[in-house]
Amino acid sequence: MPLAVGALLVAGALAGCGSPDPSGRPLPKTAFGPEGMAVEHGTLFAPVPVTTGRPVAGIPCRAPKKPAYHVHTHLAIYVGGHLRPVPAGIGMVGPKAHQTRTGPQLYGPRCYYDLHVHAQDGVIHVEGPARRVYTLGQFFALWGLPLSADRVGPYRGRVTVYVDGRPSLVAPQDIVLVQRRVIQIDLGADVAPQPVDWSHF
């Protein structure tokens, strides 16, 4: 039986208010967050899982250091026409918040997986010791959520996916994460593809 959209929602801030960071403090209402991208407000799509540092989906957790390969992909998820932010802290073991003038930016003091999220702005950091192919399916595995053509996390039903403003030609789990790619997932209702402003990033 399909899960009701409401069953997806994780307790959090009301729409229009900042969602809390791991310390419980609300995000400031700013146009741009600590990475120069618009901070996303609303109830998170799903919480950050507790990770141990063991490899997930073929991705190890590495000690913090400057990566040789570093690109960024944006992910937005809409449920019933409403944006449900991707939380900061995915892909980190024991994430900690560094407070900046424009909001918290999370870091992994122990280790980072090659796919991780520093701020509640939808940006997936793709970092590793060498260039390789990473997919949206691997990111969802790190998030602890299933992903397929008819299921995204606990949601089952109509799934529409856009890549760079066009309908995806491949299964969601096979979408490759590349520099400045914009991925939008619509669950239950279609939302026109939303542009992403990379100019301040």
pLDDT digits over 34-59, tens only?
999 999 999 999 999 999 999 999 99
Q: State phi, psi for 62 to the nearest 5 degrees.
A: -110, 150
Strand, coil or helix: 50 = coil
Residue 2's pLDDT is what?
39
HSE, side-chain direction, 13 A CA sphere, residue 72:
15
Residue 31's pLDDT is what?
75
Residue 36's pLDDT is what?
93
Query: Residue ranges of the chain with pLDDT lower than 50?
Result: 1-30
Strand partners, 98: 105
Write down the domain spans for the chain.
Answer: 5-53+62-187
Task: Say which DSSP state 195 is in.
Answer: P
Could you give the maximum distance between any two Cα atoms of the chain, in Å?
46
Residue 18's pLDDT is what?
39
